[in-house]
Structure 1
Amino acid sequence: MPKIVDHENQKERIAEVVWNIIHKEGLEQCTVRKIAKEAGISAGSMRHYFPNQAKLFIYSMQLVVNRVKTRIDQLTFTETPEENAKQLLLQLLPIDAERKLEMEAWFSFTAKSISDPELKQLRKEMNEGIFSACQMAVEALCPSQNEMERKRETEHLYALLDGLALHAILKPDRVTHEMIDSVLTNHLQTLSDQK
């Protein structure tokens, strides 16, 4: 009897292999042959899931977006506005091993998206989602600020998240989960104090 394969699960597993190769060796080492070998399948089988490398990269980048959305959808906002905002924004930061892999892949795909229109669209979608999360946090914490002040604070928070994410990837010994939590908590408290 033939083995039944969950195709979506297999595609996710292959995408996770891509993330691991990026982590260990960089995006330029993500060849179809290497990915297939690491995934334990033949290159021909891999082409069954992804007809070319571009489709695989698009799927791998989309998987990052989907996982972030899933984490956010599973949140229950029952705490203080500051804590709720922090829990929302932490979903976008590399605070554990899985999110670090996602973030490393995301930054690699973001660099590649400069010359790849299909990846560029996914980058735009994710960036708009991050900006929207920052906007929601600022509006919840600073409802009495005027529109210009809220726009400025949203850009400030967005830049803070990008900086924390990048530094956590580049300097993980310095920008730890505890440091991210502390910096974010402090900034959100400062925003809340501006009510």
Structure 2
Amino acid sequence: MPKIVDHEKQKEKIAEAVWNVIHREGLEQCTVRKIAKEAGLSAGSLRHYFPNQSELLIYSMKLVTNRVKVRIENMRFTGTPAECIKQLLLQLLPADEERRLEMEAWFSFTAKSLSDPALRPLRKEMNEEIYSACKLAVETLSRSGAMPEMDAGEEIERLYALVDGLALHALLEPERITADKIDSVLTRQLNTLK
């Protein structure tokens, strides 16, 4: 009897292999051969699922987005509006190993999108989702009455820059920008909006 293969699970396994190769060796070393080996497949099998690198990267990054969305959908938000917002924003930051792998893949993807036009629409979409989360945060705090009179547009941009900056620096300097530091800086910023 032939083996039944769950193609979606196989694609996820390949995408996770991409993240692992990026983590260990960087995007430039993310070759078909290395990804296939990491995923336990032949190069031909990998090409069956993803005929080119752009399609593989796009799928890998959509998987990051989907996992973040699932984590957020499964969260139980309790506490003050600021505490709930912080828990939401922490899902976008490398505060644990899973999110660190996702964030490394995201930044590698972002850099690659500068030279690969096929990746740009997804990069723009993902940036808009992060921006939307920051906008939701500021608007939620404003509606709750917890926010003093401020320029909401400026506060959204400031929070968006902070989230991106924390993510980047946590990847570049993990010994300095730890999960505790991310939490502390984010808490302090949200407290300025109260």
Fold similarity call, TM over 0.5: yes
Report the aligned-residue RMSD.
1.6
- Which aligned pairs between 1:51-66 and structure 2 lie closer than 5 A? 51-66=51-66
SS at match of 1:142: helix
Task: Determine the structure 1 residue equivalent to 2:98.
Answer: 98
Distance in 1 (CA, whole Å) between partners of 2:57 and 2:30 is 9
1:187 aligns with 2:161: no
State the distance in 2 between where 1:147 and 1:10 align.
Answer: 51
Q: Which runs of 4+ in 1 moved over 3 A?
A: 143-148
Deviation, 1:78, is: 2.7
Deviation larger for 60-69 or 13-22: 60-69
Distance 1:15 1:147 in 2: 45
The structure-2 alpha-carbon separation of the partners of 1:26 and 1:71, relative to structure 1 and needing over 3 Å to count, comes to: same
Deviations 1:51-75 (A, max 9, x none): 1222111111111111111112222
Structure 1 counterpart of 2:53, one-letter code: Q
Residue 146 of structure 1 deviates from its aligned partner by 9.5
Q: How does 1:160-179 map to 2 (within 5 A)?
A: 160-179=162-181
Residue 147 of structure 1 deviates from its aligned partner by: 9.6
Distance 2:100 2:148 in 1: 36
Q: Structure 1-normalised TM-score?
A: 0.93
- Structure 2: how far apart are the matches of 1:146 and 1:124? 31
| 98-107 or 37-46: bigger deviation | 37-46
Cα deviations across residues 109-167 of structure 1 (Å, max 9, x unaligned)?
00011122221111111111111111111112134679970000000000000110001
**CA-CA distance at 1:76 after TM superposition:** 2.5
Equivalenced residue count is 192
- The two structures have a TM-score, normalised by structure 2, of 0.94
Q: Distance in 1 between matches of 2:103 and 2:191?
A: 26
Change (3 A) 1:27 1:12: same
Residues in 1 aligned to 2:170 and 2:43: alpha-carbon distance in whole angstroms: 34
Aligned residue identity for 1:152: E
